Amino acid sequence: MEDLLRPFLSLRELTTRELMIHVVDILLVTFLLYRLLMLVRGTRAWRIVLGILGFLLVLYIAGRTGMSTLHYVLEKATYVGPAILAILFLPELRLALEGFGRPATLLPRVIPNQDELAEARTVEELVAAVAELAAGHIGTLIVLEKESPLNDIAANGVMLQAMVSAPLLGSIFYEGNPLHDGAVIIRGDMILAAACRLPLSDSARLDQSVHMRHRAAVGVTESYDCLVVVVSEERGTISVASEGRLQRLGSAAELRAVLNRELRNMEDEPPPKKDREPRHRHRRLRRNGVEVKP
Ligand SMILES: Nc1ncnc2c1ncn2[C@@H]1O[C@H](COP(=O)(O)OP(=O)(O)OP(=O)(O)O)[C@@H](O)[C@H]1O
């Protein structure tokens, strides 16, 4: 018991200044770990983190139980570990370093800066485009990049690097456009690429009536941290996919709320009642856990 309490008892011997330094030290490490976890949450990197924890656990058990061969091999593997991790986490490391280069992104927002104004404009352009595409029953698939870069997916389509705008999105998905087949990838306020092929979901939770476009929307969110907006060609409905789940929205106003929440961490006013679908309908569609028919 005394052993357990010793570190705490030794705190009494510290001066106020030393104590403050320890507190700041702990807060900074906590903050860095939090940022790191937020960065990898919902991405493939999350699985790598779990893999590392599993590896460390086996290494520890091998050491404690005297399994010397296993312990020797695992210990040698730890020497090359940092290099392997740097390669595996390259995209996430780049994002983290970019974040540190822009300290404003780490602090709470008070006054909207240029980035926030651009985000707000992008949301409005997206909402306007999707509303129009849905009204015209034009099949649409828009992937909005979040924490994990979608370079490999963008690479299988046609690179555009154009500012997001409602007319441009409308013309991409217009049936006569050679780029209308496939998905558009959006990074920040740029349309990175169009006509991209997405991985299809084979989730058993999806209803049989969920077709390829919506399966592709769900599929990409199973492997990457992103948000997908889909318009059904057949029904003209708007849905969003996130973290392997599909949710049908009642209106473009609901889409605005979702985009503001997911991309800008902003809670919108709930849409006016007339814009919402009757509750019983949502309940029916959401049976068996979210999987809403698109
Ligand atoms: N893996 C994929 N990646 C990207 N886009 C895809 C993928 N699979 C299908 N699509 C897009 O979906 C279109 C066809 O989808 P689908 O067969 O579901 O049509 P639909 O029945 O009209 O669907 P919906 O009514 O849901 O729009 C394709 O033309 C293509 O643009």
The alpha carbon of 213 and the centre of ligand 1 are apart by a number of angstroms equal to 3
Q: Which residues contact 120 (CB under 8 A, 6 or more apart)?
A: 112, 264
Q: Assess whether 258 and 128 both reside in one domain.
A: yes
Residue type, 11: L
Both 125 and 222 in one domain: the answer is yes
Q: What residues form DSSP beta bridges with 196?
A: 183
Please tell me whether residue 272 adopts helix, strand or coil conformation. coil
Q: How many CB atoms lie within 10 A of CB 163?
A: 14
Both 73 and 185 in a single domain?
no
CA separation for the pair 162, 128 (Å, rounded): 17
CA 64–ligand 1 middle distance (angstroms): 54
Q: Could you tell me the CATH number of the domain that includes residue 218? A: 3.40.1700.10
Assess whether the C-beta atom of 139 lies below 6 angstroms from ligand 1. yes
Q: Are residues 227 and 129 both part of a single domain?
A: yes
- Ligand 1 touching residue 195 (CB < 6 A): no
Does the beta carbon of 216 lie inside 6 Å of ligand 1? yes
Residue 134 sits in the same domain as residue 259: yes
What pLDDT score was predicted for residue 129?
96
- Shared domain for 102 and 22, answered yes or no, is yes
Task: Give residue 190's pLDDT.
Answer: 94
Q: Distance from the CA of 212 to the center of ligand 1, in angstroms? A: 5
Q: Whose CA is nearest to atom 31 of ligand 1?
A: 181
As a three-state string, the secondary structure of 122-139 is HHHHHHHHHHHHHHCCCC
What ipTM is given for this predicted complex? 0.91
On whether both 259 and 139 belong to a single domain, the answer is yes
What is the structure's pLDDT at 144?
A: 96
Structural domain contains residue 3 = no
User: What is residue 48's predicted lDDT score, i.e. its pLDDT?
Assistant: 75
289 within domain boundaries: no
CA of 6 to the centre of ligand 1 (A): 64
| Residue-number span of the structural domain to which 200 is assigned | 120-264
pLDDT score recorded for residue 153: 94
The one-digit pLDDT tens for each residue of the chain (294 residues) are 566 667 666 777 778 888 888 888 889 888 888 877 776 665 566 777 778 888 889 989 998 898 888 888 888 888 887 787 777 777 666 766 666 655 555 555 555 566 677 788 999 999 999 999 999 999 999 999 987 789 999 999 999 999 999 999 999 999 899 999 999 999 999 999 999 999 999 888 888 778 899 999 999 999 899 999 999 999 999 999 999 999 999 999 999 999 998 888 776 555 444 444 444 333 333 333 344 455
Let me know whether 99 and 127 are in one domain.
no
